Amino acid sequence: MTTRRRLPDRKSKITLREVALRADVSESTVSRIMRNQSLVADATREKVMETVRALGYVPNRIAGSLASLNSHLIGVVIPSLSNIVFPEVIQGVHEALKSSDFQAVISTTEYDIDREEVMVRGLLAWKPAAILIAGFDHTMATRRMLDQSGVRVVELMDIDSAPIDIAVGMSHRKAGHAIGQHLIARGYRHFGYVGHDWAADRRARLRYDGLREALAEAGLSIEAHAIADGPSSVGTGRDQTKNLCATSSKIDVAVYSNDDMAVGGVFHCLSAGISLPDDMAIFGFNGLEIGRELPQPLSTLRSNRFMIGKKAIEAILESPERCTRPVVIDTGFEIFSGATA
């Protein structure tokens, strides 16, 4: 029988077998040692570790995962990396993963749920232990794949809908409501809203709805809107603030879809000589660092993105098997009074 199969491998290719051969033990012994299972004699372990070092052996996790049917990979699906809140979530993920041997694989959807479907399918092919995914807005196919895969699924950022498995985040509706109540309590009566496209950002819409409810409860309403087509950004916030000011002069507070937009608003006011908060007040959302460092700290509502990523991973490490009932983890929020409202 000729030795068919495969071209000569270009790489050195040190395998478990090599180590076992050289150390004169069986492959399983080496395998046990590499996974520090404790049922190995110290002398053997020492002998094997020596050859491991000598050979520079690195276990092949692909083979390991296949054999154990367990990849120790965690898929993370987020809309984008350009909005700093998502990198912050991932920092929390990395933090919680630090002492485990799991690794995160990150995909971005660019706010496109069809692309999200492609990403999820791609991740599922790696048989991850879990998928973390931002939001609840998925295609039917995505939802079905996620559901049938049997892996743990954590929907991140908001908890305003029923999760497939676990949801970790805060109620954006309540956040909007809290902002409304806070501003009313501070004496504001004439509200404006500066926002960005809701189509891709359902959570901004939820906050808006919450805000409106709170105002309605006090017999108030939003008297002027300035809403951009595209995504949120400092520049957009600046432009739309100019629009708002041009449209309506009786607004005493403007609520922004988020801090990026609000910082833009602050910059417009600085340029236009509008005094904060006397001429007009500004209120943001998120509690980004940049807002805290403005000449006047931005009034905002702090969400805890880092904690969302961290809690999500902790929940998964704690119980790797899916529970019978969905779980909701509320990471809460906090009003930061600041100096602009």
**Token pair for 79:** 């809309």
Instruction: Tell me the closest approach of the beta carbon of residue 69 to DNA, in angstroms.
Output: 6
Written in H, E and C, the secondary structure of 261-302 is HHHHHHHHHHHHCCCCCCCCEEECCECCHHHHHCCCCCEEEE
Name the helix (H) or strand (E) containing 103.
strand 103-108
Q: Which of 122, 139, 216, 275 is close enough to bind its own copies by CB under 8 A? A: 122
Q: Which of 171, 233, 257, 331 is close enough to bind its own copies by CB under 8 A? A: 233
Q: Are 205 and 198 in contact (CB under 8 A)?
A: yes
Q: Are 250 and 299 in contact (CB under 8 A)?
A: no
C-alpha distances in Å from residue 335, one per residue of 280, 300, 341: 19, 6, 11
Using only the alpha carbons of the chain, give its radius of gyration: 26
Q: Which of 1, 3, 8, 11 is close enough to bind its own copies by CB under 8 A? A: 11
Nearer to its own copies, 181 or 340 (CB): 340
Nearer to its own copies, 91 or 248 (CB): 91
How far apart are the C-alpha atoms of 161 and 173, rounded to whole Å?
Answer: 11
3-state secondary structure of 116: helix
Using the CB atoms, write b or e for 72-108: b if 16+ within 10 Å: bbbbbbbbbeebbbbbbbbebbeebbeeeebebbbbb
Q: Which of its own copies, DNA, none has residue 91 at its interface (CB below 5 to 8 Å by kind)?
A: its own copies
Instruction: Tell me the closest approach of the beta carbon of residue 142 to DNA, in angstroms.
Output: 20
Instruction: Tell me the closest approach of the beta carbon of residue 62 to DNA, in angstroms.
Output: 7
Q: Return the closest-CA partner of residue 266 out of 302, 231, 233, 234.
A: 234
Q: Does 94 bind its own copies (CB under 8 A)?
A: yes
How far apart are the C-alpha atoms of 341 and 318, rounded to whole Å?
Answer: 42
Which x/- pattern over 30-59 shows residues binding its own copies (rule: CB under 8 A)? Answer: --------------------------x-xx
Q: Which residues make up the interface to DNA (CB under 7 A)?
A: 1-7, 9, 13, 15-17, 24-29, 31-32, 34-35, 39-41, 43-45, 59-60, 63-64, 66-70
Nearer to its own copies, 61 or 189 (CB): 61
Nearer to its own copies, 56 or 187 (CB): 56
Q: Are 132 and 77 in contact (CB under 8 A)?
A: yes
Q: Which of its own copies, DNA, none has residue 261 at its interface (CB below 5 to 8 Å by kind)?
A: none
Q: Cα 61 vs. chain centroid, distance in angstroms? A: 26
Instruction: Tell me the closest approach of the beta carbon of residue 51 to DNA, in angstroms.
Output: 13
Q: Are 84 and 288 in contact (CB under 8 A)?
A: yes
Nearer to DNA, 41 or 185 (CB): 41
Instruction: Tell me the closest approach of the beta carbon of residue 282 to its own copies, in angstroms.
Output: 15
Instruction: Tell me the closest approach of the beta carbon of residue 177 to its own copies, in angstroms.
Output: 30
Q: Does 320 bind its own copies (CB under 8 A)?
A: no
Q: Does 99 bind its own copies (CB under 8 A)?
A: no
Q: Does 5 bind its own copies (CB under 8 A)?
A: no
Q: Which of residues 135-164 bind its own copies (CB under 8 A)?
A: 144-145, 148-150
Q: Does 295 bind its own copies (CB under 8 A)?
A: yes
Q: Which of DNA, its own copies, none has residue 16 at its interface (CB below 5 to 8 Å by kind)?
A: DNA
Q: Does 323 bind its own copies (CB under 8 A)?
A: no
Q: Are 300 and 283 in contact (CB under 8 A)?
A: yes
**Token pair for 190:** 């004439």
Question: Which chain residues interact with its own copies by CB under 8 A?
Answer: 9-12, 56, 58-63, 65-66, 69, 71, 80-82, 84, 86-88, 90-91, 94, 101, 103-108, 121-122, 124-127, 144-145, 148-150, 233-235, 238, 263-264, 267, 270-271, 289-290, 292-295
